[in-house]
Structure 1
């Protein structure tokens, strides 16, 4: 397989047509068609369904995408490693992040990142589900949930402990719980179908069942509901740091329990051939978190 053929395949898959891919690659459409035909002959499979009006991926083409991206990224990583000035990032950074963290931390940093790296493009999936980064052909995933054992490579970016918080108006009206048992008498805001909150009691992680007045799958919705005084919410520091700073939310401390220590992790498919755009992004993210920590305070 030739790398120009692989890059052409990725361009057609992204653009959805041979002519659009040709414009993107600055070649004639006939050259694109020949490269795709050569790649299909080399692989022994048909990668695209072609009609006079459209080009769509076959099942084999869909399956080949992550491998093609891996090979293209390996070449880009090698060039970046040998480049005497590798500070600039280029290409498409494909990533996923939890919705709350993405909205509060990642999105605000993108204007400065893109201005400093004009050849960089961002493909960002904000989702609280764990995405298969290898199968989806992603460069990096930011994760906050406890990491499961896998062959993926994880790098700790920053601490991000869980905390219980509520609006001052709610606490003034309903009182502030100080013991785990007192949570039974409070309205709680629950994320998803999980009916229990993780708490650390006597050094052991327990699951405390809470009575949900509001249940939502969205971190942003849970935060908004808490600010509106609808109950107690258990979120993470980087989900609510701005609200803690402006006092629209206050942290609730329990005397007989502490919160689970979580962290923000950057997960990549491999230690080898990490594209320069990933390293540039992660460096910018760490700088962003350090700057926010100075402005808003650091999680304890």
Structure 2
């Protein structure tokens, strides 16, 4: 595949026309048109609908675009590494991560990360659901979970201990559960669709059914409702450290069980060599997680 032709395609997609692509690349519109046509012929599909006034991607073009961008970034990274210019962390890094994790841990890393890598750009998709990494062009997804899908290419970054918490006003009004069985008598604040929480008792899993009148599609909703005194919720320790220190929340320790510990995972779309831009981000994130773990110890 000719990368000059791929470059015309990506430039036309971002610029909105072949004329704009030609201007950006310093070539004539005729050459840009020929290169796009040659690329379509090589792929055997039409990538763009084009008239004299407008241009739009075909479904095949939309599918191919993230791959095309990845090809150009990989080529640029290779040139940088061969020249010995820095660590090759350049191009657009597309990250998907849960909303709370993005706000608490990822966003604070961004200023220094960008300062240290002038050729790097970051796009952060804050979502509590796992996207299709290939179709969306995501380079890396961060998930706090118990991964069950063996088809995912994942690296464990850190343990993710969690705690039951409630506001002082809720505890004053309703008391605090002593055992996992007592939770049935309390208002619990789970994620939408979650009917039970998993605890460990002497190394054995115990599933406790919840009594709840409120749920949220985002853990941030559970967190906010808990702060307001609506009930008891289950949150990651990195998410509640500030609230515990300030007295806005209280940790609830049960006599017979402890919440199941999840893990923080980096999930990749393919098994291919991890790009430098991904590696430098993972290194920064793992360092931040290490500091957070020490602070919560």
Distance in 2 of aligned mates of 1:27 and 1:273: 33
2:13 is the alignment partner of 1:13: yes
SS of the counterpart of 2:135?
coil
Q: CA deviation at 1:23?
A: 5.2
Distance in 1 of aligned mates of 2:109 and 2:205: 34
1:195-236 Cα shifts (integer Å, max 9, x gaps): 222222342333322122321112222111111111101122
Partner of 2:94: 94
Change (3 A) 1:120 1:21: farther
Q: CA deviation at 1:132?
A: 1.5
Q: CA deviation at 1:84?
A: 2.2
Distance in 2 of aligned mates of 1:178 and 1:287: 36
1:60-90 Cα shifts (integer Å, max 9, x gaps): 1122234334433443453354342433621
Mapping of 1:91-130 within 5 angstroms? 91-130=91-130
SS of the counterpart of 1:122?
strand
Where structure 2 has 5 or more consecutive residues not aligned to the other structure, the ranges are none
Q: CA deviation at 1:278?
A: 0.6
Change (3 A) 1:4 1:250: farther
Partner of 2:255: 255
Where structure 1 has 5 or more consecutive residues not aligned to the other structure, the ranges are none
Distance in 1 of aligned mates of 2:13 and 2:251: 48
Q: CA deviation at 1:38?
A: 1.5
Distance in 2 of aligned mates of 1:263 and 1:35: 47
- Structure 1 residues 179-188 or 6-15, which shifts more? 6-15
Change (3 A) 1:50 1:293: same
Distance in 2 of aligned mates of 1:76 and 1:39: 20
Partner of 1:35: 35
Partner of 2:227: 227
Distance in 1 of aligned mates of 2:245 and 2:252: 14
- Structure 1 residues 174-183 or 280-289, which shifts more? 280-289
Partner of 2:183: 183
Distance in 1 of aligned mates of 2:90 and 2:219: 31
Query: 8 Å contact 2:96–2:141 — kept in the other structure?
Result: yes
Partner of 1:237: 237
Q: TM-score, normalised on structure 2?
A: 0.90
Distance in 2 of aligned mates of 1:292 and 1:17: 48
Mapping of 1:124-273 within 5 angstroms? 124-273=124-273
Q: TM-score, normalised on structure 1?
A: 0.89
Query: 8 Å contact 2:81–2:88 — kept in the other structure?
Result: no
SS of the counterpart of 1:135?
helix
Q: CA deviation at 1:19?
A: 4.3
Query: 8 Å contact 2:166–2:231 — kept in the other structure?
Result: yes
Mapping of 1:5-84 within 5 angstroms? 5-22=5-22, 24-25=24-25, 27-84=27-84
Distance in 1 of aligned mates of 2:140 and 2:24: 25
RMSD: 2.3
Change (3 A) 1:50 1:104: same
SS of the counterpart of 2:8?
helix
Change (3 A) 1:56 1:197: same
SS of the counterpart of 2:214?
strand
